Amino acid sequence: MSTIKADTIQSSSGGAVNLTDLYPARAWGNFSNVGGPSLRRSDNVSSLTDAATNTTDVNFTNAMSDTSYAIAAAEQNASAVVHGAFYGCHWRNRSTFKIRQQWYSTDSNQLGFCILS
């Protein structure tokens, strides 16, 4: 077995690498809207915008190449009730920097999303 050690992997032209037959998440994150908004863990997310009650914008670090990406998301409220999906991702018209998500309950302490493309 070989071990590859690298800090950064890029395409030969210096851009994002294409992994043949592998489809990793383009971005993901886990956050809470209980009390002050907080982002627990994430990748390819530069920030969240707490826009209003139950409404959050996710701002990507690196833009998607277009808007035809898919979003998988779920939330769990304080009673540990897990919903399979957010109420809606109603504003996905920005490849450059944001999607907008809304969810069911006002006490969602675990919200997660994953972007696939």
Partner 1 sequence: MSSYRVIFEDPEQPEQPAMVLVPSDNWLEEAKAGLLPPISVYWALQDDEKQAIAEGRHDTFKHDPEKHAAQWKAPRIGPLTEEEAIEYLVMKDIPRHIWSQEYNRPMFKIVKTEDVPSDRQFRNAWRIAA
Of positions 94, 102, 105, 109, contacts partner 1 by CB under 8 A: 94
51 lies in the binding site for partner 1 (CB under 8 A): yes
For residue 10, state whether it binds partner 1 (rule: CB under 8 A). Answer: yes
| 33 touches 113 (CB < 8 A) | no
- Give the number of residues in contact with partner 1, rule: CB under 8 A: 41
Contacts of 91 (CB under 8 A, 6+ apart): 57, 98, 99, 100
Sign of CA dihedral 16, 17, 21, 25: negative
Q: Are 1 and 83 in contact (CB under 8 A)?
A: no
Cα gap 64→94, rounded to integer Å: 9
User: Least distance (Å) from partner 1 to the CB of residue 71?
Assistant: 17
Kindly tell me which residue out of 26, 75, 89, 98 binds partner 1, with binding defined by CB under 8 A: 98
Q: Binding residues for partner 1, per CB under 8 A?
A: 10, 13-16, 29, 31, 33-39, 41-43, 45-53, 57, 59, 61-63, 65-67, 93-98, 106
